[in-house]
Copies of this chain bind each other. A is one copy, B any other.
Amino acid sequence: MIDLRSDTVTKPTDAMRQAMASAEVGDDVYGEDPTIRRLEQLAAEMTGKEAALFVTSGTQGNLVAIAAQVKTGEEVIAEAESHIFYYEAAGVATVAGAQIRQIAGDRGVLQPQAIGRAVRQNDIHQPRTALISIENTHNRAGGTVTPVNVLREIQTVARAAGAKVHMDGARLFNAAIATGTSTKDIAAAVDTVQFCLSKGLGAPVGSIVAGSQSFIDDARRWRKRLGGGMRQAGILAAAGILALTQMVDRLAEDHMNAQVLALCLANTPGISVDLATVQTNIIIADVAGTGIPVDAFVLRLREEGVLASAFGEAAVRFVTHKDVAKDDVVRAADIVARVAAGR
């Protein structure tokens, strides 16, 4: 099977398995796990923030970051198809008691002016705009990157509004590699950032949130409240350290593989791909032109040995990652072409 459903399916490397087996551990709820502490320090350095916190998932990272920066009854501005709105089970409303204002971006990229227009007035009918949340890269838009200069404009708008900026950087390193920007430069344009160790970077479990020390203190309380405080979590952190030190640069390969796959798909009759969105490791392919319903399309692919995700009513999502080689991608493209042709 060539599994292109998501980069979450990546499995830990042998080096990660060895590191986990021999990890030095302690009770992290007491702050005594040395491997967790090393990972958090490394993550803080790589984002240029004062402090960082290990959490069990990107969803948890976003949730503690938002809950720590927004009061109940306030509002968060996010892109209309952002992960925090679309795929996080209404956690922001449930846990933080805050409302998400959904505004459409340009290929997933929030426009500073549109944010400016959406900031609320000081009026008792309206929730205060407390946070802007940016998804970079943007999943549902096809892995698109928000350029650093746009981030900085958003930061300016946010400051004028008295709001904070959070980045859902589940695929932050993909954004960094794709644009040749350091994660530190990207993170400098936001107050807080979350990134995942378990997607393209291959760790089995975990994400990081980073920001100021006082933010991390609050985020730690929120993590505890959600039951995300773990005991001998150094086991997982050992893999996370390798994710950050050994797995970042190779994301370029995933991006090249995505280009290859995207071009093949774009040239397949009945399939269209907005190539402008293929900036990292995600391809959204519109299969409406094949006349095959999307669920049937995905099922046929599976029968032929390719796993992909149905994506709305007419599209299929493919994600490249470390456990899929260039050969696999080429083979997958052939299979897609065959299925699209009704063979």
Q: Taking beta carbons and an 8 Å cutoff, which residues of A are in contact with B? A: 5-6, 8-12, 17-18, 20-22, 25-27, 29-30, 55-64, 67, 71-75, 80, 85-102, 117, 124-127, 198, 204-206, 220-222, 224-236, 239, 313
- Cβ–Cβ contact B222 & A73, under 8 A: yes
Contact B124 A221 (CB under 8 A): yes
Evaluate contact between A90 and B127: CB separation under 8 angstroms: yes
Known: A59-B227, A102-B102, A204-B231. 4 other contacts (CB 8 A): A57-B230, A73-B221, A124-B220, A124-B229
Contact in complex: A125, B87 (CB < 8 Å): yes
**From B6, B22, B124, B204, contact of A233 by CB (8 A):** B204
Q: Are A94 and B97 in contact (CB under 8 A)?
A: yes
Given A17-B22, A228-B227, are A90 and B86 also a contact pair (CB < 8 Å)?
Answer: no
Number of copies: 4
- Residues on B with beta carbons closer than 8 Å to the beta carbon of A97: 72, 90, 93-94, 97
List chain B residues, Cβ under 8 A from A233: 204-205
Neighbouring B residues of A73 by C-beta, 8 Å: 89-91, 93-94, 221-222, 225
Q: Which residues of B contact A94 (CB under 8 A)?
A: 72-73, 95, 97-98, 225
The minimal Cβ–Cβ distance linking A24 to chain B, given in whole angstroms, is 10
A206 and chain B: residue at smallest CB distance = B230
Chain B residue at smallest Cβ distance from A58? B227
B63 touches A11 (CB 8 A): no
A52 to chain B, nearest CB (A): 16
Contacts of A5 in B (CB 8 A): 30
User: Which chain B residues lie closer than 8 Å to A88 at the CB level?
Assistant: 125, 225, 227
Complex A-B: 19 CB contacts under 8 Å: A6-B27, A11-B25, A12-B235, A17-B20, A20-B235, A71-B71, A71-B72, A87-B125, A88-B225, A89-B126, A89-B127, A90-B225, A94-B97, A124-B221, A124-B229, A204-B233, A205-B232, A205-B233, A205-B235
A57 touches B227 (CB 8 A): yes
Cβ B29 vs Cβ A8 within 8 A: yes
Question: Closest B-chain residue to A17, C-beta based?
Answer: B21
| B-side contacts of A75, CB under 8 Å | 90
In the complex, chain B residues whose CB is within 8 Å of the CB of A57: 227-231
| Chain B residues, Cβ within 8 Å of A229 | 56-57, 59, 124
For A63, give the chain B residue with the smallest CB separation. Answer: B227
B198 contacts A231, C-beta separation under 8 Å:
yes
A310 (CB) vs chain B CBs: closest residue: B121
Contact of A231 among B22, B30, B124, B205 (CB under 8 A): B205
Q: Beyond A12-B235, A73-B221, is A101–B99 a contact (Cβ under 8 Å)?
A: no
Q: Is the CB of B227 within 8 A of A61?
A: yes
Residue numbers in B under 8 Å from A206 (CB-CB): 230
Taking CB atoms, residues of chain B closer than 8 Å to A225 are 59, 73, 88-91, 94-95
Residue in contact with A95 in the complex, picked from B74, B224, B226, B236, CB distance below 8 Å? B226
| Cα-based distance from A55 to B227 in the complex (angstroms) | 8
Report Cα–Cα, A96/B93, bound state, in Å. Answer: 8
- Return the chain B residue nearest A104 by Cβ: B104
